[in-house]
Amino acid sequence: MKRDFLTLFDLSSDEHKALFHRARGLKEARRQRRVVSTMAGRTLVMIFEKASTRTRLSFEAAMTQLGGSAIDLSAANSQMSRGEPLADTARVTGRYCDVVMMRTFGDERLAEFAKHCEVPVINGLTDGGHPVQILTDLFTIEERLGAVAGKTLAFIGDTASNMGRSFTEGAKLYGYQLRLASPKGYHPAAEVVKHSPDHVHLLSDPKEAVRGADVVITDVWTSMGQEAESKQRLADLAGFQVDGALMKLAKPDAMFLHCLPAHRGEEVSADVIDGPQSAVWDEAENRLHVQKALLETVVQASERLREMEPALRAARG
């Protein structure tokens, strides 16, 4: 028995609140240089099938700062690159560690790995979602604006991306209004939006989306694995750059978010991402604190479930 974190829905509303509360405490502890050792003796394995900077750094730093250790397992340098079945890798990995973070392509690979791994698995990014980043973004909004519930978030660009999909998951869960502004063919599919029909609004005009918004968000126009489509994407999304003129339509105290890496001059102008409304550097730092709280949550919950397992088996007869 274990607790995975593959989508935002894997935690209840109360658990999301508790996670943010804990992240605030861990951030303050870091500021005061207080040592926290809740993961002492535990090991995190990080499996990367996609390139990474912030995910790799933040998860390894988080586990180390909590007193544990982290192992970076690149698919290219493991037997996965030579055709070992993913299920076999998952079975073995779970015998060596206490928690796994996996960054991969299709969601089906993540689901298969989690099915065969006996320890909790965290989604470090898939083609279908980036829930650890969305947790961080919502935490950053709460930190700067005081609350997420009731706020209006405008996501501009390719809103069918993993970021757009995970923001859609969070809309009803966190109680915000989400405006997704994209050209034709770049909105999430209907089955993605169905979880939050009263909270998600699909638009084609970025000005309409940003007008009066509390938060303006964008992401790269060409994600990993889409490089062959780059030229077409640049043409399709050319009118969806977040620049100073667009930001002026949002609330005067609106904040700008971008999960990074950013391409200045494409999805965002330099004056916005490097300007006073930008929270991207706090956003990047907060990956560390939120993921510390997430590691504690899934590992400790899984350990409690394993302790209860003998009694549950006995009760079932």
Q: Any idea which residues carry the catalytic annotation? A: 103, 130, 133, 219, 259, 287
Find, among 109, 43, 39, 47, the residue nearest to 73 by Cα.
47
Strands 177-181 and 152-156: parallel
∠ CA 89-121-79, nearest 5°, is: 20
